[in-house]
Amino acid sequence: MFLSRIIFKVFPPEVFIRLRKIYRTSLKKVYSPLTEEEFRKLVTEELKISKGSIVFIHSSVDNLNINFGADRLLEILIETVGEEGTLVFPCWHFTYRAEDYLRSGKVFDVRRSPSALGMLSELARRYPGSKRSLHPTNSIVAIGKHADTITGSHHTDIYPCGEKSPYYIAMQMGGIIAGIGVNANFMSFVHCPEDVLKNKFPLKTRLDEVFEAKVKKADGSLEIVKTLAAHPQIKNNDILGFLKKHIPESVCRNFTIKGNRFFVAHPKDLFDSMVELSKENKTIYTDKAQIRNT
């Protein structure tokens, strides 16, 4: 388990946030900012992104020490994958529990509800021609050739990370997952095997209730989208510990360059490994997650 995870568990949230800010400030004093040239090099050589790549990106611009803006960062990624490639970003519009959001009766406006998952995700949402899935709790935005294919069917499955989700579709299309300014603890793809296995997954990760949410589409019309919500016990996880113990670096690798965190993962290999490990009751969840599927 990483030191930050230990600190998060030990100290109150406000103390953790203050310590994290001090740590980030100190890193920027120790290391010089990444230049555009250095960033381009690590994108191609370390994250293995190239022309035609399909890349699911998790990010935190605030965590990065770079000498250029977030808008330029997005442009570099778009230039790297080219016209044949596609960039995919998580783009849900709230950060509290999905169950609470679904019970609120609020309307998700696919055109106007801003991303709550960082500056890069919000810039992608606003990018001309980007496509956003209609899922009310796990919306995804995509830019590029396969954006429609990756996002178009997301709302038609009650499982947010199931076989019609951008997670699964991008994986099947040979995509990769990249973290920019974050480590693999932020990789939401780890819930894809759970939703595909459904009740065959050993632990209960979804509530039984099927919620109906209002979604305002791009044309202004309303659609009712049915979905499941996460079970409260999913908070009892140790993603980094699971990856370190069970998943080789050739499948998922965390690394740091000049104090900046990154990760790269190959979702098909990761998916297959997590499915097989679940048969042995080896999951991302700790012993505190005790409610099992029946």
Beta-sheet pairing, 176-180 with 260-265: antiparallel
Phi first, then psi, for residue 74 (nearest 5°) are: -65, -40
pLDDT at 15: 58
Tens digits of residue pLDDT in 138-177: 999 999 999 999 999 999 999 999 999 999 999 999 999 9
Residues in CB range of 118: below 8 A, 6 or more apart: 59, 60, 61, 62
Question: Which one-letter DSSP state was computed for residue 132?
Answer: E
What 3-state class would DSSP assign to 48? coil
Instruction: For 54-79, write each residue's pLDDT tens digit.
Output: 999 999 999 999 999 999 999 999 99
Q: What is the pLDDT of residues 240-259, one digit of tens each?
A: 999 999 999 999 999 999 99
Side-chain half-sphere CA neighbours of 9 within 13 A: 10
- In the chain (294 residues long), the average pLDDT of successive 10-residue segments reads 54 59 64 94 97 98 94 98 98 95 96 96 97 98 98 98 98 98 96 98 97 97 98 96 97 96 98 98 96 91
Identify the pLDDT of residue 5.
Answer: 55
In the chain, domain spans: 1-30, 34-278
